[in-house]
Structure 1
Amino acid sequence: MSKPDVTFPAWDAGREIVLDPGSPEPLYFQVSRQLHAAIEDGRLPAGARLDNEVDLAARLRLSRPTIRQAIQTLVNQGLLVRRRGVGTQVVRTKVARPLRLSSLFDDLAGLGGKPESAVLVNRVEEAGADVAELLEAPGLTHVRRLKRLRSADGEPLALMNNYLPDGLVDPGDDELRERGLYQLLRSAGVRLHAAEQNIGARLATEEDAELLQEEPGAALLTMRRTTYDDTGRVVEYGWHVYRASRYTFNLSLTNGPQ
């Protein structure tokens, strides 16, 4: 059964958006900037639909290509989405995750969300030479393999894969659903110390798309992380993918020596 449409207060673009033709700022950018502000402050809430391009262009007395460029700018930023048969809608604000030694579960809980996990793989398997190399343990024979789908408030956000040295922790599926991996490691007495992390991007595969509720070929963020304890031992290697439309990483930069 399909969910009924949610009705939002009308947002009058013709009244809300003020354009300055004499400004050096391009008209499409003036429109996208003001739409962005309306989304950020809640005047255009998640799920709200915009008027079609023809109507918006008429209201603002602009050309349709100008309106199309303004909307596409916000689509590229993950703030709007075009849906066939529905139109252009506001999407939820992205989860902004700081780069620190914490799990996504911890960060979502700290942001006031309700993190949830579906456990897809939780087993011990033989460690091949490539996996032993990733864990920097040449003599390793077995590893704990985890694969989980992380969601917040019922919406999928990330597909998470991990290798851990066998015997480090032995979590049941219920524990993995209710707690973050780093919580489980710390509870087992593992003292997390540092990590090396690489962030990239790729397109969604058919499997990614089905699990993350995206279209095949949609943009995904990727992250690979090697985590060390206070003795220098690798305790976890993870490779995760995140919905670029709902997720971002925040980096803090400091000024280096001059």
Structure 2
Amino acid sequence: MARTGGPAREGAATALGRLDLAVDRGSPVPLYHQLAQQLEAAIERGRLAPGDLLGNEVDLSVRLGLSRPTVRQAIQSLVDKGLLVRRRGVGTQVVHSKVRRPLKLSSLYDDLEAAGQAPTTEVVRNEPVPASPEVAAALGVAEHSEVILLERLRRTHGQPVALLCNYLPPGLLELDDARLATTGLYRMMRAAGLTLHSARQTVGARSATAAEAARLDEQEGAALLTMQRTAYDDTGRPVEYGTHLYRASRYAFDFQLLVRG
């Protein structure tokens, strides 16, 4: 186990000097994810305050006894979350603490059903697969460890609308193909006693590949909306990571934006 220590130095080490950071090299959890979790917890608890400097990647890697790519990956994950910012000539700086608020999470199936769109589901894949680096980071598991891949094609009124790909930790709940064809994943989670609390979601767009176009009844190169979501239960455990594709010709995301003073 590598542990930081020693007196705080000026500049970059000042903020980190208040922390007792440690990584367990024997753990299956990637080192960058261990570091990112500890830094995020320190920000949430106010031990790292807005404006605190963490320094640059070289300073951090030397101080923590980690490789520079490992530190860079940890920092980038928190930059992506909006908790840290990189400033040229200054280093890495805390932006603000993470605000947690409960979210009402719903599945596409529930939303379509509520809108009277008569959704149907084709289960394409439901099987264990090794976790890729992206999936492992999202679910907080070791790379190449077993996770459950669930791939479904969602239709409304007989027309394809979305290709849904979800990854879940093994043993989380029973994923019966017959039930998956007639209900939503989140509804199944709630029925199994899981309480969904919050999620982190990213929306984007890209062109359809030939295979995706064939599945979604579109032309190759047609516009697709993309969504990546990691959902957490009420203990903060990641319980699902989804990467979804939606036909832009048949689907749109609608957001309500609130002004905060």
Q: What TM-score, normalized by structure 2, do the two folds share?
A: 0.58
Match of residue 158, structure 2, among 148, 154, 159: 154
Match of residue 251, structure 1, among 248, 255, 258: 255
Q: What one-letter code is carried by the residue in structure 1 that aligns with 2:123?
A: V
List structure 1 runs of 4+ shifted beyond 6 angstroms. none
Q: What one-letter code is carried by the residue in structure 2 that aligns with 1:137?
A: V
CA contact (8 A) 1:140 1:165 kept: no
How far apart are the structure 2 equivalents of 1:200 and 1:183? 25
Cα RMSD of the aligned pairs, angstroms, is: 1.6
How far apart are the structure 1 equivalents of 2:131 and 2:243? 16
- Alpha-carbon offset, residue 130 of structure 1: 4.0
After superposition, residues 218-237 of structure 1 pair within 5 angstroms as 218-237=222-241
Q: What one-letter code is carried by the residue in structure 2 that aligns with 1:208?
A: E
The one of the two structures with greater contact order (alpha-carbon pairs below 8 A, sep at least 6) is 1
Q: What one-letter code is carried by the residue in structure 2 that aligns with 1:182?
A: Y
- State the SS of the aligned residue for 1:248: coil
Q: Deviations over 1:66-98 (max 9, x none)?
A: xxxxxxxxxxxxxxxxxxxxxxxxxxxxxxxxx
- Alpha-carbon offset, residue 173 of structure 1: 1.0
Match of 2:219 in 1: 215
Q: Deviations over 1:22-62 (max 9, x none)?
A: xxxxxxxxxxxxxxxxxxxxxxxxxxxxxxxxxxxxxxxxx
For structure 2, list consecutive stretches of 5 or more residues without a partner in the other structure. 1-102
Q: What one-letter code is carried by the residue in structure 2 that aligns with 1:150?
A: R
- Alpha-carbon offset, residue 248 of structure 1: 0.5
Percent same amino acid among aligned pairs? 50
Is 1:204–2:198 an aligned residue pair?
no
Match of 1:84 in 2: none
How far apart are the structure 2 equivalents of 1:106 and 1:220? 21
Is 1:145–2:145 an aligned residue pair?
no
- State the SS of the aligned residue for 1:249: coil
Q: What TM-score, normalized by structure 1, do the two folds share?
A: 0.59
CA contact (8 A) 1:203 1:218 kept: yes
* Higher alpha-carbon Rg: 1
How far apart are the structure 1 equivalents of 2:113 and 2:121? 13
- Alpha-carbon offset, residue 132 of structure 1: 1.8
| Count of residue pairs the alignment pairs up | 159
Q: What one-letter code is carried by the residue in structure 1 that aligns with 2:220?
A: P
Q: What one-letter code is carried by the residue in structure 2 that aligns with 1:107?
A: D
How far apart are the structure 2 equivalents of 1:164 and 1:208? 22
How far apart are the structure 1 equivalents of 2:205 and 2:144? 30
- State the SS of the aligned residue for 2:253: strand
